[in-house]
Structure 1
Amino acid sequence: MDKSWIKQPHTSTEYDQGIKGFIIFAFRDELENGEIICPCKCCGFKKPQSRSIMYDHLKCKPFPKEYTIWIHHEESIGETSTIPPSNVSNIVQDTVVVDDHMQNMINDAFGVEDPTNEVPIESNAKIDQNEDMVPKASQQRYEETKEYYELSREGEQPLYEGCVKYSRLSFLVKLCHIKCLCGMTNKAMTMVLELLKDAFEIANIPNSFYEAKKTITKLGLNYEKIPVCPNNCMLYWGNKEDEERENCKICNTSKWKSKAKVGAIGVSGDGNNRKKIPAKVLRYFPLKPRLQILFLSSKSAEDMRWHAIDSKNDGMLRHPRVSDAWKHFDLTHTWFASDPRNMRLALASDGFNPFGMMSTNYSIWPVIIIPYNTPPWVCMKDTSFIMSMIIPGKKMPGNDIDVYLQPIVKELKELWETCVDTYDSLKKKKV
């Protein structure tokens, strides 16, 4: 059997016909609804999958190039080569695929890892033979998961030819993590990437940090910049009139810094032609996408129902769900309490000195959201905290913090009044 298609690009016609042939060969002795182990790098010859799911996996995640003798799928050595039986164990070891944790995270976050989740690789995906192997997903589902496929393609690209430890995406994420931990500037990151690109020409590395951010932002880690009055009077946000204002409608303070670097033409606070830079900027992280991810991920979707499923109560207050306030709320809003997936959120904020020097008169106030649906050993971990906004210094907001909370209050009201559809990895459907 010709297996040259294994080394072809997974978007080519030869590769597509090849995986169809492999599936027909692998399922030759199985029933129509049977399952066998999948050779994709995510399943790693460990998880049994159906025909349609295996086709999706192999179409999205390239067929392992070392797996040329299909001994895991009952192909005898004599059918394809003259390799002595004594070397079969070595062949088995060579077919083990390195598990890409970054790709697993992407699959999990976008809700496409579960076997019953039918997601098309292309909107017009069809098979000439055995059409029942391809799930009948709609064009709408393809459009909804378009971002996943773009990110998945980034994850499939190896860092360099033959690299199995890092993909292009996992390398960029780890590099960005180092940047955050060490406080590196964007300029320093660009210089590091340029050096790596020059030293390792074969590596698939972006030329600048700006290009790298285009990939990183697909993970949903973006935020909005909202100009603020330096005296904490108002946000230049909410309607067109406020957004276009040049001065605060309360204290008449200029929206812009009086001293700025010479750059694009614009009028700053001192009347000179300088680059227009807001005097104060609020960083706001949209809440809805982050709440949706909690249900897209199979590791957290079950925890979001914990408060309603766990009925143990020994009289100790270990979680807000056993408090009188929680019970009173459930009695008042029975429609909300009827669905355990409805979110119970806590909001907290506190200031700290980002420079680590007590003599520096500056403080940053992050606003954190905590999902109380989850058990206490999960919701109180810092990894479960949801960053909502970062209120800049140099003075504390004090009683004016309500000015900064306007975006999150508006979004919470929208969530209360209208439901937001999302994919539930436990229900395996959009609800």
Structure 2
Amino acid sequence: MKTREDACEHLLIKPFSPGYTLWLRHGEKPAEESSICTPIIEKPTTEVNPTFQMVREAFNFTMPHGSDEATTGKPVEDDDLELSYLYDGPSREAQDFTDLLADGVEELYPGCSKYSKLSFLVKLYHIKCMCGMSDKAMSMILDLLQDAFEQAKLPSTLYEAKKTIRKLGIGYKKINACPNDCMLYRGDDEDATKCKQCGTSRWKQKTQKGSVTKLKIPVKKNGKPLPTKTLCYFPLIPRLQRLFMCSKTSTEMFWHKEADYNYGYLRHPKDAEAWKEFDAKYPFFLTICAVFV
């Protein structure tokens, strides 16, 4: 996958040749179809696979319904032949996209048509998050499922399950914090070992056996000290991008701009005078934000 600027540069260096191949499987249509109006016979609508829709929206990638790529999850070999001069190999995002599509079509177990490997994992992880299950409990459940259903395509460890979930772009950043909520260990304070406000140690301290007295010795795991408190930070920009990319929430993001007249009721901050004044002062702010996202 390339950025808009890279794609423009590639087209300037090596434009389309006279014998350009029409990529019908990628949504292109012959020139005759665009100029001639022909009656369209509506086909019965097929149910959209929610797993594929979730993967496509996570990568901001759309494909025509019913295409081969949406059902096989295999990379198109023609691209490697025709566009080999554009890249040396698949990027990490492209590989993640291909892996998720492959997991989306792989049956959970032979003969299972209700759940794929990816859809079952997403539902299982959703239960973990909604119920506040610990990582230890989740690992025990995975071990039990693997023991009971040997043919099921389940991740062997919770770490592997999280790696798959992270490919959907719903991760977060961990920032160490003072246990008294005085400060965050970030920026210039990223390497600090104690709070600059209250002097409390950044790391968990070992205690005497049968006592609460701390020995001022950091508790370590895998050779690294454990922080006393951690803040889970969800970056704003990726969340806004996801809201605009998802078909179920993108329309709601523009509701305040496209909604009907309020008839004097304050239904949304947009109906307030401060919002109207901001719109009048910066009329292109919403459009710029939408293009940026």
Q: Same fold (TM over 0.5)?
A: yes
When residues 273 and 299 of structure 1 are mapped into structure 2, their CA distance, relative to the original with a 3 A threshold, is: closer
Q: How many residues align?
A: 244
- Per-residue CA shift, 1:130-180, capped at 9, x if unaligned? x9xxx9xx759x745443222222212110122110001111112122223
Amino acid at match of 1:230: P
Instruction: Give 3-state SS (helix, strand or coil) of 1:235's partner.
Output: coil
CA distance in 2, matches of 1:139, 1:46: 39
Higher RCO (Cα < 8 Å, 6 or more apart): 2
- Report the AA paired with residue 148 of structure 1: F
CA offset digits 1:300-329 (Å, max 9, x no partner):
323322322234231111121121010111
Shift of 1:191: 2.0
User: In the superposition, relative to structure 1, how do residues 252 and 35 fare at CA in structure 2: closer, same or farther (>3 Å)?
Assistant: farther
Extract unaligned runs of 5+ from structure 2: 1-23, 26-31, 209-213
Question: Structure 2 vs 1, CA of residues 311 and 154 (structure 1 numbering), >3 Å: closer, same or farther?
Answer: same
Does the Cα contact within 8 Å between 1:260 and 1:277 map onto a contact in 2? no
1:342 is matched with 289
Q: Alpha-carbon deviations, 1:322-352, whole Å to 9, x = none?
A: 2101011123334425x1x637xxxxxxxxx
Please give the per-residue CA displacement for 1:47-86, whole angstroms capped at 9, x wherever unaligned: 5xxxxxxxxxxxxxxxxxxxxxxxxxxxxxxxxxxxxxxx
Partner of 1:125: 78
Aligned position for 2:193 = 246
Which amino acid counterpart does residue 78 of structure 2 have in structure 1?
A
Q: Structure 1, residues 208-252: CA drift from partner, whole Å, max 9, x if none? A: 22221111122222211111122322211023xx11111122332
Unaligned segments of structure 1, at least 5 residues: 1-22, 25-30, 38-44, 48-96, 262-268, 344-418, 423-431
1:320 maps to a residue whose letter is: P
**Contact 2:104–2:119 (CA<8 Å) still a contact in 1?**
yes
From 272, 288, 296, the equivalent of 2:217 is 272
How do residues 180-329 of structure 1 correspond to structure 2 at under 5 angstroms? 180-239=129-188, 242-259=189-206, 270-272=215-217, 274-275=219-220, 276-329=225-278
Cα RMSD (Å):
4.0
Asked if 1 retains the 8 angstrom alpha-carbon contact of 2:142 and 2:157, the reply is yes
State the distance in 1 between where 2:168 and 2:235 align.
Answer: 13
CA distance in 2, matches of 1:248, 1:177: 35
% identity of equivalent residues: 44
User: Which of 106, 126, 149 pairs up with 1:157?
Assistant: 106
Distance in 2 (CA, whole Å) between partners of 1:250 and 1:190 is 38
2:162 match: secondary structure = helix
Which runs of at least 4 in structure 1 moved beyond 6 Å after TM superposition? 31-37, 118-121
Distance 1:304 1:321 in 2: 13
- CA 1:243–1:32 in structure 2 vs 1: closer, same or farther (change >3 Å)? same
Q: Deviations over 1:167-202 (max 9, x none)?
A: 011111121222234443222222222222122221
Distance across 1 between alignment mates of 2:227 and 2:98: 37
Question: TM-score, with normalisation over the residues of structure 1?
Answer: 0.48
